[in-house]
A and B are shown apart, each in its own frame.
Chain A
Amino acid sequence: MVARRKVAVVGVALSDCGRVDDATPYALHAQAARRALADAGLDRSLVDGFASAGLGTLAPVEVAEYLGLRPTWVDSTSVGGSTWEVMAAHAADAITAGHARVVLLAYGSTARADVRAGRRTGTLSFGTRGPLQFEVPYGHTLIAKYAMAARRHMIEYGTTIEQLAEVAVQARANAALNPEAMFRTPVTVDEVLAGPMIADPFTKLHCCVRSDGGAAVLLAAEEYVRDCRTSPVWVLGSGEHVSHAAMSEWADFTVSPAAVSGRLAFERAGVRPDEMDFAEIYDAFTYMTLVTLEDLGFCGKGEGGAFVEKGRLRVGGGGLPVNTDGGGLSAQHPGMRGLFLLVEAVRQLRGEGGERQVRRGADGALPRLGVASGTGGWFCSSGTVVLGV
């Protein structure tokens, strides 16, 4: 058998994140992209593939032009927050096939600044035509859709609101160790429960922050790895899956599409969930972390509530460190967070986690395997990527 051309993540970066009032989304894409190139130490002329979504009418053309790129491979897969896990998989396939040598994935959004400046509403309107005409009369906000899914899990498995709140508490505890996180002051379960109700059972701290920010990831064929100043983090396997758009088309609200993307990613990587040293999981809401842990196979269906208890998701908590940067619940969430999962996973595998660095066992060894699992829309899509060093 001919060996497959291996693909590594060689550069990662965040743009300025959190509260960024004086930048356009284009500028945040560019800042993150330049930082990722500098991180890798690669020459820009090597970048022949570009992928981006969420900005521009002809995405990714406008952003490619803004960056001065004329790529020969592009992707603008747009499946929500999981977009960048899916894009990374597509990019890795293209590199393996010889259709690209170095691919840049970039994202940037000023969601927080836009709401503050009145450039958009807090609740997004997705339109009133086509299938959407059958849901617009009912005011199913994005938060309500996730809340309805959480409620169904509570009904079927007895998952408690306190267990869901534990997810927010531990995300904040990890964020406290991350100087780039937007919110770092520890919170308690009681404080989560006592917050203002948004869409029951979700109070405010069950929901992600709304931040500004961007990120960029650079993937390269193995022969370019030696030219980089960073140590490579290899793409070992990936999976993608699309479920529904209308909530009425979702068969079981207690099973996320990560159940499929995760199984595919682990199978293709040839590893098991229990070999992971940490997991970066898309957490726009507390329930996403809990159900995705189940669906990736870290625990059985319905056991997520018990799995997230007792601080097991914290860095150094003795369990599976999850969302080591504080996640969307505390670190940053500019609208589509998928690329941030990959950035944090790579930093952990390189040993660049600082105070929040994941260690294996008592001897303090660095992690070898990690998984990033993005969820898009309202459990509409999922992309899972297994990374290793």
Chain B
Amino acid sequence: MAGRFDLPEPDAFTRTYWDAAAEGRLLIRRCRACGRAHHYPREFCPHCWSEDVAWEPASGRATLYTWSVVHRNDLPPFAERTPYVAAVVDLAEGPRMMTEVVGAAESPAGEPPAGELSAGAELEVAFREGIPVFRIVRSAIGG
């Protein structure tokens, strides 16, 4: 039970995704045959099974589909991170993504004020130690 449970284990194919994330870029995969994007990345297109699929930089824009503020998680290091906002977001390019919504500018790792979390809230990608997370677009909340 020692160690950390929040570290992704990249493989030869996904290394590209994580290397880009480490540089502050979110990548998605797009099929040249059917035109659809997907995430999480796969070697082929899960929609039409074409192998003509390429990496593409995502805009980093997304909207909030749903979320839960997690108060209990005994797997390290999440216990120290609670409360945090587990979220599912819809990327502007179409695919849905499991992620975390992180807090206000003055508290980048913290939980955003509960009132700011709402369905459809506009989000933009941010990066925490090479992991793509999302923050609420400030200009979108009440001007």
Residues of A whose CB lies within 8 Å of any CB of B are 118, 121-123, 125, 128-131, 133-141, 143-145, 147-149, 151-152, 155, 196-202, 246-250, 253
A152 surroundings in chain B (CB, below 8 A): 65-66, 119
B86 interface residue, CB < 8 Å from A? yes
B138 interface residue, CB < 8 Å from A? no
Q: Chain A: which residue is nearest B119 at the CB level? A: A155
How distant is the Cα of A94 from the Cα of B114 in the complex, in angstroms? 53
B106 surroundings in chain A (CB, below 8 A): none
B75 surroundings in chain A (CB, below 8 A): 121, 123, 125, 139
**In B65-104, which residues have CB < 8 Å from any A CB?**
65-75, 78, 81, 84, 86-88, 95-100
Contact at B73–A123, with CB atoms within 8 Å? Answer: yes
Q: Report B108 CB to chain A, min CB distance, Å.
A: 15
A196 surroundings in chain B (CB, below 8 A): 71
A199 surroundings in chain B (CB, below 8 A): 68-72, 86
Q: Report A79 CB to chain B, min CB distance, Å.
A: 20
How distant is the Cα of A202 from the Cα of B67 in the complex, in angstroms? 12
Interface size on B, residues (CB 8 A): 38
Q: Chain A: which residue is nearest B131 at the CB level? A: A137
B12 surroundings in chain A (CB, below 8 A): none
Contact at B72–A137, with CB atoms within 8 Å? Answer: no
Contact at A134–B96, with CB atoms within 8 Å? Answer: no
Q: Which of B11, B74, B97, B99 touches A122 (beta carbons < 8 Å)?
A: B74
Mark contacts of B25-41 with chain A using CB atoms, 8 A cut-off: 1 yes-contact digit, 0 otherwise: 00000000000000111
How distant is the Cα of A242 from the Cα of B119 in the complex, in angstroms? 27
Q: Chain B: which residue is nearest A248 at the CB level? A: B96
Summed over the interface, the residue pairs from A and B with CB atoms below 8 Å come to a total of 121
How distant is the Cα of A141 from the Cα of B69 in the complex, in angstroms? 11
Mark contacts of B1-19 with chain A using CB atoms, 8 A cut-off: 1 yes-contact digit, 0 otherwise: 1000111111100100000
A200 surroundings in chain B (CB, below 8 A): 68-69, 71
Question: What 7 A-B pairs are tightest by C-beta distance, nearest first?
Answer: A133-B8, A147-B68, A134-B40, A152-B66, A248-B96, A144-B68, A144-B86
Residues of B whose CB lies within 8 Å of any CB of A are 1, 5-11, 14, 39-41, 65-75, 78, 81, 84, 86-88, 95-100, 119, 131, 133
B87 surroundings in chain A (CB, below 8 A): 138, 148
How distant is the Cα of A177 from the Cα of B71 in the complex, in angstroms? 33
Q: Report B133 CB to chain A, min CB distance, Å.
A: 8
How distant is the Cα of A140 from the Cα of B7 in the complex, in angstroms? 13
B74 surroundings in chain A (CB, below 8 A): 121-123
Q: Chain B: which residue is nearest A251 at the CB level? A: B96
Q: Report B135 CB to chain A, min CB distance, Å.
A: 14
How distant is the Cα of A130 from the Cα of B14 in the complex, in angstroms? 9
Contacts A134-B98, A140-B98, A246-B40: A197 and B71 contacting too (C-beta < 8 A)?
yes
Contact at B11–A155, with CB atoms within 8 Å? Answer: no
How distant is the Cα of A129 from the Cα of B40 in the complex, in angstroms? 12
Contact at A248–B14, with CB atoms within 8 Å? Answer: no
Given contacts A200-B68, A200-B69, list 6 more A-B pairs with CB under 8 A: A138-B6, A145-B86, A148-B67, A148-B87, A199-B70, A247-B96
Contacts A136-B8, A155-B119: A141 and B72 contacting too (C-beta < 8 A)?
yes
Contact at A247–B88, with CB atoms within 8 Å? Answer: yes
Q: Report B64 CB to chain A, min CB distance, Å.
A: 10
A130 surroundings in chain B (CB, below 8 A): 11
Q: Report B68 CB to chain A, min CB distance, Å.
A: 4
Interface hub of B78, B97, B98, B99 (most chain A Cβ within 10 A): B98
A121 surroundings in chain B (CB, below 8 A): 1, 74-75
A135 surroundings in chain B (CB, below 8 A): 98
How distant is the Cα of A197 from the Cα of B40 in the complex, in angstroms? 30
Contact at B72–A139, with CB atoms within 8 Å? Answer: no
Q: Report B79 CB to chain A, min CB distance, Å.
A: 9
Contact at B86–A139, with CB atoms within 8 Å? Answer: yes
Contact at A155–B66, with CB atoms within 8 Å? Answer: yes
How distant is the Cα of A199 from the Cα of B71 in the complex, in angstroms? 6
Interface hub of B66, B99, B119 (most chain A Cβ within 10 A): B66
How distant is the Cα of A140 from the Cα of B69 in the complex, in angstroms? 10
Sample of 28 A–B contacts (CB below 8 Å):
A118-B1, A122-B72, A123-B78, A125-B75, A133-B8, A134-B41, A134-B97, A136-B5, A136-B6, A137-B131, A138-B86, A138-B100, A139-B84, A139-B100, A140-B98, A141-B70, A144-B86, A148-B87, A148-B88, A151-B68, A155-B66, A155-B119, A197-B71, A199-B70, A246-B40, A247-B98, A248-B97, A250-B96
